[in-house]
Chains A and B, each alone.
Chain A
Amino acid sequence: MQQLAETTVASQDALLDIQNLTLSLRDQSGWVEVLNNVSLSVKPKEILGVVGESGCGKSMTALSILRLLPPRDSRLGGKILFGGQNLVSCSESQMNRIRGRHISMIFQEPMSALDPVFTVGYQIEETLQRHFKLSRREAAERAIAALDSVGIASPRHVATLYPMNLSGGMRQRVMIAMALVCEPRLLIADEPTTALDVTIQAQIMDLLLGLADRTGTAIMFITHNLGLVAQSCHRMVTMYAGQVVEGGPVRDVIAGPRHPYTAGLLHSIPDSNRARGTLPSIAGRVPSLRHMPKGCRFGPRCSYSTQPCELPQSIENEGMEDIDRREVRCNRWEELALRGVGA
């Protein structure tokens, strides 16, 4: 009963509320489960970090929200509630009204996300004209204004260029301009700075957070870089092997991680303040989707694994208030009392 009450409270004020999302994909050898019972929420104007190694399901969660997976070869279960609408059961035409208008996405590699045969300006105009009744001229003006807002020096000129004429950093600025031009309520940023140099990464993050703050857009920020999460997000979730294994306010999670996987990620990053020597690392590798361990999915790589870990782990919640709520999928978290970074 209590579980039920809690869910309704959460869905009232959350912008995006994913409940028990499962995703299966089909390849030559049949169906395989990629996401297992993923639940997470993003509140209006909130920045949620989603971390984990490659193959843990971060990008698949993002693609599920926007329903960008091949319909014949994918199967979604559970609920994705966005503004009261369940995206899992939306029709394609309903989704088309949401994509780019209310939820937009920035991808890791801007070159493959931009169309090489159209000018940058045209591609932004196209987004605008799809969602608003605008004349060509009005759309062009708004596109130029959007390019200007992402700090592009001569927007009128850049609008006439093709993606190949731009540097990686400029392309990512164009992507941001395009994603935010309709002032969406949610932006999914999937590794938006991974392909960029650190000094450019700092520029782009600064820009992205500034713009989102101005337009009141919430961000679901997918990254493997815990430093970026620490710096820019309010809350975070850690994903591992298709499941959410930990979630909570960023500062709390970093100062005191509860799942051994989050702790492992935190400690495996070289730190200039720490003495040189052997870095703590996580042994082994992510299990194959077809051979998931029956119990805790992190069990085979976990140095704290014991007998009870061979049973499936459920999410434990703590803290009723949404704001400081923490969740963890580990039966030993209390006795482990893992060490974090700082504090």
Chain B
Amino acid sequence: MSLATSSEQPALDVDDLHVTFGNPRRGSLIRAVDGVSFSVRRGEIFGVIGESGSGKSTLGRCLVGLLSPSGGGVLHDGIDPFKFSRRELNRHRRKYQIVSQDPNAAFDPRMTILQSICEPLNIAGEGTKAERREKAFAMLDRVSLSAEMANRYPHEISGGQKQRANIARALMLDPNVIVCDEVVAALDVSIQADMLNLFARLQEQFGLTYVFISHDLRVVSHISDRVAVMYFGKIVEVGPAHAVIETPLHPYTEALRSAEPEIDPTAADTRQRIILQGEIPSAIAPPSGCRFHTRCPRMRDICRAQEPQQREMLPGRHVACHFAEEMLGEKERRSLDLSERNGARQGAAAQGADMM
């Protein structure tokens, strides 16, 4: 959150972004990302939550210039990378890295870890061979991998170690922005915790900007400053991480929150469970009106006919739902009830601050 250093220019500025696949004439047009807007400040961790098919990975790939938008655009520090020639784009893209989910697929099985990590520099033609090696060892150290790992092959190290090496490689070109696409999904919980700590530490050390994409609400809300919730190619809710998770103002966010199994048995007792019916609809024939209406527990007639507009419900919190005001009212009443019940014991002030 340490911005305001050089300029107010956001690191990423996404404006009405559309990414489509397929052929409209054959009736197979898929709008994977359908009108998404947000901006990410320098040094910020921006989380994107969504289920499979929500378009979050397509968004991530477009943010780093691996996919071209079909409408709208992405600005990198105020610059439009898609205006560049192929050559210029390739050069520019070095500062915008992506780390993907499966560390096993991210390494060439015939190259040692050191060779793989040096590869970005080889391609960029930066430094002498010795300098590249030196930098690679420095990066391995930063991600807490011992130097002896450098000469191993991918099959000789564990999944967690591979994911660390994957991150080290992304850091080799001193990126401004790293898109992390489900980086901890394939890892065991204890290693996942380690990895999240590593991401937080690297962010401080290098002043990085992250876009953290995950289906896991806990993971995203733990690491992010702000989060966006995606459903079927659109952002349904965006705001400060803690506020979005604690007091969701979109029925989908609320359902996601409730679907997350609660470990603390006392908290589980007091919580209402929402089990969504149905599955994510077909991408080729999206539902009319609000795209969530086929599964929404609050669905009414207007939802089928009219697409809800995104509006600012609380400072910094944008929601696209016809009944966001209604939900906000409910939440306010509930938190008032709660703070009355709790008395002055605790939380009254904190709850109030949350709602602001």
Contacts and interface: CB of A to CB of B under 8 A. Distances in A.
Is chain B found bound to chain A in the same assembly? yes
Interface stretch (B24-32, B218-226, B336-344): B218-226
B190 A281 contact: yes
A53 interface: yes
- Dominant SS at the B interface? helix
User: How large, as a class, is the contact surface on chain A?
Assistant: 35 or more
A103 B16 CA distance: 54
B190 A271 contact: no
Contact of A230 (B51, B192, B262, B280): B262
Contact of A281 (B52, B193, B216, B275): B193
B219 to A, nearest CB: 6
Contact of A200 (B158, B266, B279): B279
A268 B259 CA distance: 20
Nearest to B224: A276
Contacts of A230: 261-265, 268
A53 B190 CA distance: 8
Interface string A35-69: 00000000000000000011000000000000000
B75 interface: no
A266 B190 CA distance: 9
Contacts of B280: 197
A203 B273 CA distance: 11
B200 interface: yes
Contacts of A276: 222-223
Interface string B183-203: 000001111111011001000
Interface in A264-285: 264-266, 268-273, 276, 278-283, 285
A255 interface: yes
A74 B48 CA distance: 45
B132 interface: no
Interface in A152-173: 167, 169-170
Contacts of A269: 189, 193, 218, 263
Contacts of B268: 230-231
Interface in A234-285: 250-251, 254-255, 264-266, 268-273, 276, 278-283, 285
Interface string B37-60: 000000000000001100000000
B51 A268 contact: no
A198 interface: yes
A341 B217 contact: no
A224 interface: yes
B39 to A, nearest CB: 22
Contacts of B261: 225, 227-228, 230-231
Given A167-B279, A231-B268, A272-B242, A224 B218 contact: no
A272 B188 contact: no
B245 interface: yes
A286 to B, nearest CB: 9
B190 A272 contact: no
B276 interface: yes
A265 B190 contact: yes
Interface string B256-286: 1011111111111000010111011000000
B230 to A, nearest CB: 12
A226 B260 CA distance: 11
A29 interface: no
B266 A278 contact: no
Given A198-B215, A272-B242, A281-B197, A341 B188 contact: no
B197 A231 contact: no
Contacts of B223: 270, 276
A121 B189 CA distance: 37
User: How large, as a class, is the contact surface on chain B?
Assistant: 35 or more
Nearest to A195: B52
Contacts of B35: none
B246 interface: yes
Nearest to A53: B188
B215 A197 contact: yes
Contact of B263 (A199, A227, A282): A227
Contacts of B275: 199, 202-203, 206
A169 B267 CA distance: 28
A271 B219 CA distance: 8
A201 interface: yes
Contacts of A278: 197, 200
Contact of B189 (A199, A201, A231, A268): A268
Nearest to A168: B52
A270 B192 CA distance: 10
Contacts of B279: 167, 169-170, 200
A343 interface: yes
A285 B158 CA distance: 9
Given A53-B190, A224-B189, A254 B265 contact: yes
Interface string A167-205: 101100000000000000000000000000111111100
Nearest to A54: B188
Contacts of B267: 273, 342
Nearest to A278: B197
B193 A198 contact: no
Interface string B219-253: 10111000000000000000000100110000000
Nearest to A226: B263
A225 B216 CA distance: 12
B188 A224 contact: yes
Contacts of B196: 270, 279
Contact of B193 (A231, A268, A343): A268
B160 interface: yes
13 contacts: A167-B279, A198-B260, A226-B189, A226-B263, A230-B261, A251-B265, A255-B265, A266-B263, A268-B190, A270-B219, A281-B190, A341-B264, A342-B263
Given A200-B51, A227-B262, A273-B264, 7 more contacts: A199-B255, A199-B275, A199-B295, A226-B189, A231-B261, A278-B200, A279-B194
3 closest A-B pairs by beta carbon, nearest first, are A227-B261, A270-B222, A342-B264
Interface of B: 51-52, 158, 160, 188-194, 196-197, 200, 215-219, 221-223, 242, 245-246, 255-256, 258-268, 273, 275-277, 279-280, 295
